[in-house]
């Protein structure tokens, strides 16, 4: 084995350990920042190590998955029901109003509270907006240049991470959701 291959193998082991130990996704920049400046591998080398790790876990029950904030290890979807049995606490239930509101923000962003109310046809409670802000699923991204200068809401990386999305492009198209609703498989 050449010295270069040994270095690549060691880099792969380090990256795997860092991602496994991290309690949140790590970006290429964050991984690179762990190394002393003189020894820092190039981002391309880190990406190659990540690609190799992904291949190593292909037939495993866990995977290295990219979300908006970076890379993280997670249980594969087909194992989720088994792992869920470990947790006594039930996953949080979200109200239809909250899900409608976050969906409007995700698909129509940037939007104001007035825009959301117009689409939903009902007023949006301060509590609901505060809940989304507290969860860090949405943030204020400026103010609309209209009287009152209402806040413009957009989704965050935490929203994408929670719903296991790398970007907004990974969300289902509205036409797909409407087709499911028409078929009776989903209420929207």
Please write the tens of the pLDDT for every residue from 62-100. Answer: 999 999 999 999 999 999 888 888 877 766 788 888 988
Domain boundaries, the chain: 3-84, 96-182
User: Rounded to an integer, what distance in angstroms lies between the CA atom of residue 154 and that of residue 141?
Assistant: 6
pLDDT over 60 at 3, yes or no: yes
Q: Which helix (H) or strand (E) holds 67?
A: strand 62-67
CATH code, residues 3-84: 1.10.10.10
pLDDT of residue 39: 82
Determine the Cα–Cα distance for residues 128 and 85; give it in Å rounded to an integer: 30
Q: What is the pTM of this model?
A: 0.67
Contact 106, 155 (CB under 8 A): yes
Under the banding of pLDDT at 50, 70 and 90, the label for residue 60 is very high
Rounded Cα–Cα distance for residues 123 and 146 (Å): 19
CATH number of the domain at 96-182, please?
1.10.10.10
| Residue of 57, 91, 51, 49 lying closest to 75 (CA atoms) | 57
Inter-residue contact 102 to 137 (CB < 8 Å): yes
| DSSP class of 153 | E
Domains 3-84 and 96-182 share a fold: yes
Residues of the chain with pLDDT > 90, as a percent, come to: 61
């Amino acid at each position: 084995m050449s010295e270069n291959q040994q270095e690549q193998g060691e880099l792969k082991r380090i990256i795997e350990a860092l991602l496994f130990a991290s309690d949140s996704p790590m970006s290429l920049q964050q991984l690179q920042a762990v190394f002393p400046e003189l020894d820092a591998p190039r981002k391309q080398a880190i990406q190659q190590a990540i690609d190799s790790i992904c291949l190593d876990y292909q037939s495993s029950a866990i995977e290295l998955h990219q979300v908006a904030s970076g890379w993280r290890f997670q249980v594969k979807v087909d194992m989720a029901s088994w792992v869920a049995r470990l947790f006594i606490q039930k996953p949080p239930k979200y109200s239809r109003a909250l899900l409608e509101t976050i969906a409007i923000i995700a698909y129509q962003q940037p939007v104001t509270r007035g825009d959301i109310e117009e689409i939903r046809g009902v007023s949006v409670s301060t509590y609901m907006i505060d809940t989304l802000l507290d969860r860090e699923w949405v943030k204020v991204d400026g103010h609309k240049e209209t009287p009152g200068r209402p806040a413009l809401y957009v989704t965050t990386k935490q929203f994408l991470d929670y719903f296991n999305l790398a970007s907004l492009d990974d969300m289902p198209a509205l036409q797909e959701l409407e087709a499911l609703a028409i078929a009776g498989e989903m209420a929207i």
